[in-house]
Structure 1
């Protein structure tokens, strides 16, 4: 089993050496295929990477976290792929545990323990996404957006057309593997505070992205789960309003007929959306 390790990097000149030094000291550059994807960095990130015995692929412009991972996955020659961040939060020493678990699971996720560093202002958005995700896949989610994970390359390549180019690729890939019935294993890791610059994630800017991500997840994985209950609620409101109107004025109110019609339309839109989502998830 050949292993490829992919590390996306964007303007990480202060942190990039941490992982590279660890890889070399552990001898991973001889044992595994090490791939760094420089996602349009404007600092010395590329120069630093080139001083180490690893493969490097460049984006001429910043395309996003997910796009960098896609490039690495397409270029990788390994049967299994491990990804981790380049900002010093993830310790490469955990890689051996992932490699061992990949013999048993299709995807392995490093679950952050209670001592791990996390930005508190992001917790509300993460909890909301988790609740929606668990509702859609009807099971408890592991650490769905952990950036330290491993997976089978061919299974992921079949789903690359579903994956976004932005920061939400970890979330989408977790839900996709669960929805397709693949096995996911977890093990505890401790994540440290990032080295150097602050995170690119911003409350206002990425809060709106989080809401769009929720809508995208719903429409991609189980739209009928939302549309069907909504159509029932609207239909019930229309029916009750119609009964009340009939007893008051001995006729069905026009507004009740409109509400009932809207509920029926909502149901059929849900059926159509479910079929489109199913077609989108067809393996390529």
Structure 2
């Protein structure tokens, strides 16, 4: 990474006493000139004290707001041109940070640490993440190797454009990845191995899995509505055609149900078309506003 750019390493932390101090020390040794910012999400233990003693700047929430809220606080408070986000539970190593920074030096806007199968918490989590990766790849048109990895580096000015979209919970990686890809920013995936986390995971497989799925659909309809509405429109059209052919073959008449399906197909297509135009106008205006601010 260019020495002219200040690096900020952001660690959201909630009840990570006994771990966060060692994580901060390893980062301080690897990146002595970087800003290390620990966002203490109102921990009930000595997380804040240990992080501060290890050499981090600590920002604390007054009450527990969630992992995504801690990420947003860190992004707003950080002084660096480059932001690195990593867990405070010891899963991510300082050595892997340089691989992400190399991708940014190569011209990418975001670099994400993609975990291999052996780095997943368990087989169920691996299967769930693989399904989410495939669905997101299909909807965005880009190959996504790890949608939910919280270990990533990004250009600060680009990342802050999407802070208003990020949820307060654990699904900020999903939202930021989808937002970057659908907005035309370049994203690189770097294969990494992660350590087993110390302590219990705060992510629920079922609850957060459903939440991730909803966010994928939400982000796709926000940035490219026709990728959702057009397949739905075609589905109703095909079902209507099948119903019409079957009913006509059986009775020689026209099926009212087929007519309803054709109408649904047309309505869904028109809704998608209007949504696509609204999206184009919205982000065209947003881009103009950003250009004026830079001027």
TM-score, structure 2 normalization: 0.85
Equivalent residue number for residue 274 of structure 1: 276
Matches within 5 A, 1:54-203: 54-104=56-106, 105-113=108-116, 115-195=118-198, 197-203=199-205
Cα 1:279/1:122, change in 2 over 3 Å: farther
Query: 1:128–1:217: structure 2 CA closer, same or farther, 3 Å change rule?
Result: farther
Name the CA distance, whole Å, in 1 between partners of 2:132 and 2:150: 16
Checking the alignment, whether the CA contact within 8 Å between 1:242 and 1:256 is kept in structure 2 is: yes
**After the TM superposition, which of the residue ranges 269-278 and 200-209 deviates more from structure 2?**
269-278
Indicate if the aligned counterparts of 2:140 and 2:220 stay in contact, CA closer than 8 A: no
Deviation at 1:203, TM superposition (A): 2.7
Contact 1:64 1:167 in 2 (8 A): yes
Residue 45 of structure 2 is aligned to residue 9 of structure 1: no
Evaluate the alpha carbon distance shift between residue 251 and residue 208 of structure 1 in structure 2; reply closer, same or farther with a 3 A threshold.
Answer: same
Aligned to 1:230: 232
Tell me, in whole angstroms, the C-alpha distance in 2 between the residues paired with 1:186 and 1:249: 57
- Partner of residue 22 from structure 1, selected from 20, 26, 32: 26
Q: How many residues align?
A: 281
Distance 2:191 2:244 in 1: 56
Counterpart Cα distance in 1 of 2:112 and 2:34: 19
RMSD value over aligned CA atoms?
2.3
Unaligned runs of 5+ in 2: 291-295
> Which residue of the other structure, out of 208, 214, 217, is the alignment partner of 1:215?
217
In the alignment, the residues of structure 2 paired with residue 184 and residue 210 of structure 1 have an alpha-carbon distance, to the nearest angstrom, of 19
- Can you give the 5+ residue segments of structure 1 that lack an aligned partner in the other structure? none
Deviation track 1:169-206 (CA, whole Å, cap 9, x = no partner) reads 112222222222222234332200011x2001123332
Helix, strand or coil at the partner of 1:182: coil
**Residue deviations 1:226-269 (CA, integer Å, cap 9, x gap):** 22122122123223433444455454232222222112112122
Query: CA distance change for structure 1 residues 24 and 227 in 2, over 3 Å: closer, same or farther?
Result: closer
Against the structure 1 CA distance between its residues 181 and 95, is the aligned structure 2 distance closer, same or farther, given a 3 Å change threshold?
A: same
Q: Give the whole-Å Cα distance in 1 for the aligned partners of 2:59 and 2:142.
A: 37
- CA apart distance, 1:33: 1.0
User: 2:61 and 2:70 mapped to 1: Cα distance?
Assistant: 8
Contact 2:20 2:89 in 1 (8 A): yes
Aligned twin of 1:264: 266
Residues 106-142 of structure 1 show CA distances to partners (whole Å, capped at 9, x for unaligned) of 1122232455353322122212211111111223113
TM-score, normalisation: structure 1: 0.88
When residues 25 and 248 of structure 1 are mapped into structure 2, their CA distance, relative to the original with a 3 A threshold, is: closer
CA contact (8 A) 2:175 2:216 kept: no
> 1-side partners of 2:246 and 2:111: how far apart?
56
1:38 pairs with one of 28, 31, 40: 40
- Report the CA distance shift for 1:262/1:118 in structure 2 as closer, same or farther (over 3 A): same
Give the structure, 1 or 2, with the largest relative contact order (CA under 8 Å, sep 6 or more). Answer: 1
Structure 1 contact 15–88 (Cα < 8 Å) conserved: yes
The alignment status of 1:50 with 2:52, answered yes or no, reads yes
